Amino acid sequence: MMERKEGEITGLYNFFMFRNSLRSFECKNRNRKLFDKGFLRAIIPRTAKSGTCKMLAAMAYAQNYDDLCNETHKFSINELANFVDLTPWHRLGLTSANATIIEAVEGYSLVHIVDLSTTHCMQIPTLIDAIAKRLEGPPLVKLTVAGAVEDGPPMLDLSYEELGSKLVNFARPRNIHMEFQAISSSYADGFSSLIEQLRMQKLMYSGGIGELEALVINCHMMLHFVPDETVPLISDSEANPNHPFESSSVYSPRSTLLKALRCLDSNVVILVDEDADFTSNNVASRLRSAFSYLWIPYDTVDTFLPRGSKQRQWYESYIYWKIQNIIAQEGLQRIERLEPKSRWVQRMRNADFRAVPFGEDAVSEVKAMLDEHAAGWGLKKEEDDLVLTWKGHNVAFAAAWLPA
């Protein structure tokens, strides 16, 4: 009985400590609802795990049921396209990547795009249109995706096989022959099966089998799902044999993936991600970082979506899911492991890539895209990279890389 009471006290103590920590950040009205419906809800299951408090366990159970009702919406293709177009959050990467890809594949009649994206190929129709208008004529386009990505928002209401069929049908009247393949692969092990298949294809081409292709690796807000060094994963002796690149005592699928991509000698690698740091193993540190960053998407929603609308509900649920994953989860279940741009730059350089600036067409198209949105959005160049800002705060970045 005494142990149970101590567990109750421990659970409640942890809960109120987290809540008081959050309230210390709550200095602006724009954060109030984010605090109430996001962070506070995330710390309930977190603290419920740390004790035997029945009240918190009951709150967590009720909340999880409510979350399942609100956060598992599966988008139709049209809904997802509209969702992606709501803000420049995703459009920065989609717009800059497409313009850069067109430039990188010039002169090739066979283009192979490996799309590691959380937006389920939503940029591909626009890219197909751009490729079809090339002066040298439309090439054969191969599109490869990781087809067994674990569920996480935004989710699509059809399989990748169905999506691929729709994209092939979209390309056909534009006189583009398109091949689509979805390879069963997971970010949990750094897409090892996908990398292995790409490596085998490269060996075939280098051996004179098949036509030389332009290879493009498009990484759109997905690489931060790949575990980094802070995840207590596996030792060297257990490392995946498909990734023989790590020799240190700490196996990092994230660094290993980048080194594997370098060995593919692609024409260009596009890296797009959010500019924040959620890698700390200290939950209080992550809480501070998340609170300092995730007010931005909630603040932007007030500029274009009415309260109570379905789109706003989906958008807010997306933010709440991220908060929940950052605060309430650990280990491989915590996939929101964002790194700041500076750390990605160092990783890419360590993997023997060199940065290249975006062309004038890419920058012009991004600026034109921003003109379609609220005045709070901005664009700045940091060395060779493009950085999206909201009211002066860094939001996301886009970078282009070539083999060094």
For 262-291, write each residue's pLDDT tens digit.
999 999 999 999 999 999 998 888 888 998
**Minimum mean pLDDT range among 8-22, 86-100, 162-176, 226-240:** 8-22
Measured over the CA atoms of residue 319, residue 320, residue 324 and residue 327, the dihedral's sign is positive
- Beta-carbon contacts of 401 under 8 Å, excluding residues fewer than 6 positions away, are 268, 269, 270, 271, 348, 353, 354, 355, 356
Task: State residue 18's pLDDT score.
Answer: 56
pTM: 0.86
pLDDT of residue 50: 55
Q: What is the pLDDT of residues 197-241, one digit of tens each?
A: 999 988 877 655 566 789 999 999 999 999 999 887 544 434 454
Lowest-confidence region among 52-66, 199-213, 243-257: 52-66
Per-residue pLDDT at 283: 85
Q: What percent of the chain has pLDDT over 90?
A: 57
Q: State the chain's mean pLDDT as an integer.
A: 83
Helices (H), 85-217: 88-104, 124-132, 160-171, 192-206
Report the distance separating Cα 126 and Cα 95, nearest Å: 9
Which position has the higher pLDDT, 134 or 53? 134
pLDDT of residue 246: 45
Q: Comparing 336 with 27, which gets the higher pLDDT?
A: 336
Query: Does residue 6 register a pLDDT over 50?
Result: no
User: Three-state SS across 182-204?
Assistant: EECCCHHHCCHHHHHHHHHHHHH
Residue with tokens 């995840």: 231
> How far apart (Å, rounded) are the C-alpha atoms in residues 63 and 51?
17
Q: What percent of the chain has pLDDT over 70?
A: 76
Residue-range domains of the chain with CATH: 2-71+280-333 (no CATH), 77-277+337-403 (3.40.50)
State the Cα–Cα distance between residues 374 and 303, nearest whole angstrom: 7
**Could you tell me which residues come within 8 angstroms of residue 368 by beta carbon, excluding any fewer than 6 positions away?**
none
Residue with the larger pLDDT of the pair 35 and 291: 291
Torsion sign over Cα 332, 187, 154, 65: negative
Q: How confident is the model at residue 61 (pLDDT cuts 50, 70, 90)?
A: very low
pLDDT at 4: 41
Quickly tell me which residue has 């709070």 as its tokens: 376
Pairing label, strands 393-403, 268-274: antiparallel
Whether pLDDT at 344 is above 60: yes
